[in-house]
Amino acid sequence: MSFLRSCGSWAVQRATVNKLPMNLRGERRLSLPTTDATELRVFRRMCIACGRNHNSMSVLPKRYFSSSQSHMISTRKPYLIVVKEKESPKEDGAMAQLKQVLDVRLEQLLEESLKHGEPGRFYRYPKPLRTVNRPSRQKGHQPHSKRKPGFLEPKNQTDNKSSSHASTQPKRKFKAKELSLKSVQSSNVAQSQKEDVASFPEGGMPKERIAPVKDRTLSSSEVAGTERTKSRLKSYRTRGETENSRMLLKSQKVDQSEKVDPDIKDDKLVIARTDPKTPEKPDKKHMYHIMRDKSIYLEPLIEVCMFKNMTKRALSEFNSLKSKMPIDVGIYNMMLKGLAQKGALGNIRTLFDSMAASGINPDAQSYAAVLQCIGRMKFRHLQTITKCLSDMALHDITIDDLFLKTTFSNDDRSVMLEVIQEVNPDYIPPRPLPRPHATCGLVQDLYQDEAELSDGQNDESAVGHGSLGCSGLLTKEEFQDKFKEQLDLEIKEAAVIKSIEEDGNPDKNTLQKREILQQHKKVWKMSLVQAIKEEREAFKRKGRGISGPDQRSYAGMLYPFLNILKPEEFADLMLQAVADTLACSTEGLGSYSLSHELGNRVHRKLIIRSKLQKGFAEKLEQMYDAFADYHLSEEMMQRYKPREYWQQLEDELLDGPSLNHETKPWKTLTNASLGIVLVKMIARELRLDTAIMNPQAERKLIPAFYNVYIFKGTKNVNYIKPHPTLVDLMEGAKEPDMTFDTTVLPMLVPPLPWNSCKYGGYLLTETRIARCPEGSQQDQELSDPSRLKDWYPVMDSLNQLSAVPWRVNKPILDVIISVFKNNGSKELNIPQPASVLPQPPSITSETSKADAAHVYRERSLYQKLRGEMHSLRMTDLYKLSIANKYRDEIFWFPYNLDFRGRVYPCPPHFNHLGNDVTRSILVFAKGRPLGDKGLDWLKIHLINLTGFLKKSSNQDRLKYAEEKMPLILDSADNPLEGQKWWQGADKQWQSLACCMEIANAMRSDNPAEFISYFPIHQDGSCNGLQHYAALGRDKIGAEQVNLHPFDVPQDVYIGVADLVEQQRAQDAEDGVEIAQLLEGKVERKVVKQTVMTIVYGVTVYGAKLQILKQLREKEGLDRFQKSLASKYLASAVFNSLLKMFTKTREIQSWLTDSAYYIAKAGHCVDWVTPLGFPVAQPYFKQRYGKYDDVGRSNVQIDTLKQKNGFAPNFIHSLDSTHMMLTSLYCQQAGITYVSVHDCFWTHASTVDEMNQICREQFVKLHGQPVLQNLSSFLDNKYGDITISKSVKKKPQNAEIQTIGDIVKQVPKPGEFDLTNVLQSTYFFS
């Protein structure tokens, strides 16, 4: 031992370490099956005492075992040696002798390891092996020789833990002499030195090697395993030597002799025993939960196996898990349905026996599968059919239930009916049950019987607007053609759109970069395809021959998921994700987010193909042919809501598959686990040639993406970022074609109406009605079919919005595209390319240290601005390219909700909720004559868009428009070369579009008959405060937000600014220095943002930052004074709002306090909107490494977010309710209507009618006891919960004991008369 301590340094010969395969990190690892404690201490001390850190060589406990190595660990503790080579110092004789000794011992250990199992095969459990507890010998105790293997224990494994049972233990098949360091030193060192390294097989082991271990007898399985291992070792290659990498270098004309393997570092060789073809270990926390809770992947696995015809694998997984986890009848039905398609009646009998043994009662879907299976058999036994029907009766299931309570695929219904009629020839299936009506009292008059509905809507006041549906836009044949085109798009799952940057004459530099990018993409695809194939084979090998899921590896579990798509389709999907989410910005994306997105994309493709497999497309085409008649008839659209008509079609067309078949979403971890495999392949396989931008540079392949860790708050988040060279390449290539998923594009036909919370929107692509976390409380409530009728009004509102057709405003689009192509414009809010930024200065040898620091700051700012400009440019490129693609089309937007009930279009890039540019491009597809007042509304709307006369009446705005008519016409005729009056507007592009519409109307023969497609906006006056003032009947506040009628609009921002100025003047007189400095600086602009966000729960600190941002433009104050002034003004604004909105602050405090105590009790705050939509706040604190029963992180309630979010979210749910009510009654009146939250759109000729409906529904909504209903709901659900003594209470709440004590303290309303809203012109204007 003293000899070892005296050694100065040492290194392991490359000949030794090269015998092990290298993993993707350039590491080679060796498992040491040694038990000699002295020897292990020697290795450990040589790492430390010789001045080498653990990055060079380390001896660590090995916690991940493979099943083939588990026989080594009954009494031994395996260790892991990681060796990284660097240049050895000059050696003396003692050092050389020590190296020889260590080389011999490492070779012996390696040879012994190879005889016992495969190198590189790590077990995927993140916890140590569990050994079998040996109880003392008792009566009835099973002898060891007959004992079944324990958890993860191979059948032949022995246990030497307890010497007390030596007599019962079987003899070992072999005996290996434990070698100490002394025995190693006495071995034949000279023989090791004579062996030639070059004679070894590449990447493998020599056929004969020194092995001073005594001979032992190997079992046949061990011999076979050793031979397989050696054959595999011969085929190992490092990634840098792949054929695809050579092709890329060859395409870039790179000399192979100059190629540098990117996986081998310059000064180190990292050694690890990992097969390059072996799947990498997933994120530990994800994998742990998947392996611990098999329900996470069981349902998706069955779904995938049935889709890919892997019935045996599905049965194997199911049978191995049914006794280890609770399985409900739904999972049994998945199995039964898949087996029924195969006619496997024997397997179905087995499953029914299993259900009986588990105490699970089969339902109607279970027996339907049995009858469908019998119907697909060549020979049908009447006795079996009769037995099935009699068993049904025992479970109180009738034959009618088989048709009323089940879903069908393909011809299931007709097959089952045929089987039933063999024993009951006179049986006729029942008609579907009548649909229930909506129960919400707010809209009860809209849901009447059909006869009453038709009698009340056949008068001229209800019919005749001519603005609903597609009548006059499309013929029946055109409608059918557009349906087929949309269906084909969704089947292909993507659409190729030409970029607006492509003008047909790209410059030489662009062509060169396109060629380079295409070469890379070609090689990338080949690499990814090959990697997918290798990954499949490796996963298949890992999952083969394993007895059950408790012993099944992570790789074996994921094997079916990697068969959903072809390798080429997987490669296309990954390359598309690269183009969409990674390569367009240097910021990159969180690796977990990217993994989840990739898993989602695969699942979406699986859903679409599964629907096609079940015959959905044929049934959908049949139903949509009849649904076209509805959209082509305005009278039908007023008599029936889209949902009602679609349900009527479903009840009539019963044959074929059920279209409302529920598809369960995959758990978050299932998506992420599949995505992790794909993300690692992206990072591993995609390489760049370093000489892309600089041909003079050394040419070698480098990763196109790299992993970094970024602190987000207190969390260290893994990001995958593109190499800057790749971003520059894609930016410079300006690819002519862009590929988009169909989910981000408008539809060419009206969306499917929402008739359940799981079915609606796109034809085949799965869409959810609410954007809430899967498995959350809100998601579970929305999945309850018994409450479906409560949500009919919400669904009908979404369907009304979805039924509005749109078209592109081509003149405006052409102007915007011309500005975009001309390098954009900062003044017109068209993003400029990053190339317009001036280059930052460079550092030279003459640069001083201070100047160099300044240059570094400038370069950092340059990179940040460059990334932001590129992202903004790409965003506008997407929306303008999509608009250009649809310039000659009529299209529709599908809609869904966020968790608060607010409505959003599903396509994210191009919709009317976008910015000023996007809104200016969109107009209604169906026009209406302007009529008597339409032209006036166009002029008023134009002045509203400019923002010039915010405090003036409509009459003054109309007069101003007449005065500016020459400038308006000039703007329309010469937008970019004229006097450019429109460019001074707040909303420039919408103002220009309105100028063009006014010019066209003015120049028509009769403006009253001019057909206008232009939408007129009516915007709420600080809508959040309007709802607060209505809830509290706050008289002063109601007047400030125009709930009370005035001749001119009231501006709440000016009102608050005036109160703040009064307080400032008083303080200035009292000698307050900061108040004196602010003289003349308190303006509307300074306080506007704070007043606007007060309803959304902004704090005093947040208000200070908002005001400070505005004060930075003011002169006369230094930095310190501006900070003091912002704090002073924030306090003054809050005091002013307390005076103006007294009841508002009381309601806010009550909502906040209620949410605080509910969250402290461990519950998320939830409520039901007046229209019946359930809301639950999804605010949690994530606790990493722990998971709940739906596969999400096991989370803790975020009390602060629950508390601060309740008030604004409740108000958002009210403004959404008001919008939906207006939508439903506008449809009843035959008015075209869409909205952007609290901004309502309609034709110019129907503005007055929409305004009347808007006001009536607001009064109707707040005429309900909204706060009292909320109090009752919270009291019933949480009222009995006792508040913990540890919870802090406000002084005024010191006496409360339960949550019910606080939620019952509803603020008393004021004296404002809500009916005044009906006469208020500027309530919405």
Are β-strands 1234-1236 and 1239-1242 bridged in parallel, bridged antiparallel, or unpaired? Answer: antiparallel
- Is 956 among the residues known to form the active site? no
Q: Is position 36 annotated as part of the catalytic site?
A: no
Contact indicator for 969, 999 with CB cutoff of 8 Å = yes
Helix (H, G, I), strand (E, B) or coil at 59: strand
Distance CA 1073, CA 748 (A): 64
d(CA 826, CA 832): 7
Residue burial 144-154, b: 16+ Cβ < 10 Å; e: rest: beeeeeeebbb
| Residue 468 identity | L
Partners of 892 in beta bridges:
747
Annotated active-site residue in 159, 411, 898, 1019: 1019
Half-sphere exposure of 778 (CA within 13 A, CB side): 26
Angstrom CA distances, 943 to 947, 948, 987, 993, stand at: 6, 6, 10, 13
Q: Which of 412, 741, 1034, 1238 is catalytic?
A: 1238
> What would the DSSP string read from start to end of 1045-1081?
--SS---HHHHHHHHHHHHHHHHHHTT-HHHHHTTT-
Task: Note whether 893 and 806 are within 8 A (CB).
Answer: yes
Packing angle, helices 810-821 and 849-885, rounded to 10: 150
**DSSP collapsed to 3 states, 353-409:** HHHHHHCCCCCHHHHHHHHHHHHCCCCCCHHHHHHHHHHHHHCCCCHHHHHHCCCCC
Residues contacting 1075, CB < 8 A, separation 6+: 1064, 1065, 1067, 1068, 1128
Compute the distance between CA of residue 805 and CA of residue 912 in angstroms, rounded to an integer: 12
Helices H / strands E in the chain, number of each: 49, 27
CA distance 1084 to 1206: 28
CA angle 1234, 1239, 1245 (to 5 degrees): 60
DSSP 100-116: HHHHHHHHHHHHHHHHH
Nearest to 1304 by CA among 1281, 1262, 1274: 1274
**How far apart (Å, rounded) are the C-alpha atoms in residues 685 and 1289?**
57
Known catalytic residue at 1238: yes
Catalytic annotation, pick one of 115, 482, 605, 1088:
1088
Residue 698 neighbours by CB under 8 Å, 6+ apart = 258, 260, 690, 691
Question: Which residues lie closer than 8 Å to 1090 by C-beta, 6 or more apart?
Answer: 1098, 1103, 1106, 1107, 1130, 1133
Rg (CA), the chain: 37
CB atoms within 10 A of CB 492: 11
Give the separation between CA 192 and CA 572, rounded to whole angstroms: 51
Q: Strand 895-898 relative to strand 806-808: parallel, antiparallel, unpaired?
A: unpaired
Phi/psi class of residue 79: alpha, beta or left (left: φ > 0; alpha: ψ in -120 to 50)? Answer: beta
CA distance 1042 to 1030: 11
Q: What is the DSSP letter of 1148?
A: H
CA distances, 1161 to each of 1153, 1187, 1283 (Å): 13, 21, 7
Q: How many residues does the chain have?
A: 1325
Where helices occur in 13-72 by DSSP H, the ranges are: 14-17, 37-49
Tokens of 695: 């041909």
Q: Could you tell me the CA-to-CA distances from 288 to 477, 553, 709, 1236 in Å, in that order?
A: 56, 11, 22, 44
Helix, strand or coil, per DSSP, at residue 421: helix
Task: List the catalytic residues.
Answer: 1019, 1088, 1238
